[in-house]
């Protein structure tokens, strides 16, 4: 872990992480959750992380931060922001049932709302969109504009639409 205190620049606490997913890369801005085991893992204890859907919502308190490594490959090392300003936080904007369904419109989201890991879609969701939880959190800095509905062809076969927004991370 390293702390960045640099004159009049934003302070950050960043930790080294290891992608312990079996087959999934972890995209930039996605939440990472500690993967803890009672069996010792040489060199990885305290560094292994997985995506929220792998961890399940019972592991909410094990949230370790925001992945700040572009597309962290399986079984590779990267970094996560645990505290401080984050330029790239992947917020879940909307979902759909299948790739032929039209994307629904989304109302605007004001800044300063709490973001928590979305244990179904692996991004960050506003607290209003998930069951209320306490503990570590991320605060949205940007306002998110209203999104109009979009044709099913937009986004290809994706079932989840995310956007990268600025946030303040407070996972300590």
For 75-101, the pLDDT digits (tens) are 999 999 999 999 999 999 988 888 888
- Given a cut of 90, whether residue 25 has pLDDT beyond it is yes
Please give the Cα distance from 44 to 139 (Å, whole number). 29
DSSP string, 89-104: EEEEEEE-SSTTSPBP
For 114-135, the three-class secondary structure string (H helix, E strand, C coil) is EEEECCCCCCEEEHHHCCCCCC
Domain ranges for the chain, please list them: 2-83, 84-170
Q: How far is CA 17 from the centre of its chain?
A: 14
Q: What is the pLDDT of residues 101-145, one digit of tens each?
A: 888 888 898 888 889 888 899 999 887 655 555 556 788 999 999
Quick one: pLDDT at residue 35? Answer: 86
Rounded to whole angstroms, how far apart are CA atoms 114 and 133? Answer: 10
pLDDT (0 to 100) of residue 131: 52
42 has pLDDT over 80 = no
* Separation of alpha carbons 67 and 69, rounded Å: 6
Which range has highest mean pLDDT (29-38, 71-80, 146-155)?
71-80
**Computed over its alpha carbons, how large is the radius of gyration of the chain?**
16
Report whether pLDDT(18) > 90.
Answer: yes
Q: What is the pTM of this model?
A: 0.86
Question: What's the first-to-final CA gap in the chain, in angstroms?
Answer: 12
pLDDT band at 70 (very low <50, low <70, confident <90, very high): very high
């Amino acid at each position: 872990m390293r702390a960045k205190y640099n004159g009049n620049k934003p302070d950050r606490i960043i930790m080294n992480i290891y992608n312990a997913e079996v087959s999934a890369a972890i995209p930039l801005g996605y939440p990472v959750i500690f993967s803890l085991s009672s069996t010792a893992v040489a060199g990885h204890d305290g560094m292994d992380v997985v995506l929220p859907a792998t961890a399940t919502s019972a592991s909410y308190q094990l949230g370790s931060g925001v992945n700040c490594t572009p597309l962290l490959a399986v079984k590779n090392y990267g970094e996560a922001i645990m505290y401080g300003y984050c330029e790239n936080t992947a917020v879940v904007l909307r979902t759909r049932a299948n790739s032929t369904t039209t994307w629904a419109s989304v109302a605007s989201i004001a800044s300063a709302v709490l973001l928590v890991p979305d244990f179904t879609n692996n991004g960050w969701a506003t607290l209003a969109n998930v069951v209320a939880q306490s503990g570590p959190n991320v605060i949205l800095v940007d306002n998110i504009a209203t999104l109009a509905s979009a044709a099913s062809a937009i986004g290809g076969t994706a079932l989840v639409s995310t956007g990268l927004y600025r946030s303040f991370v407070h996972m300590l």
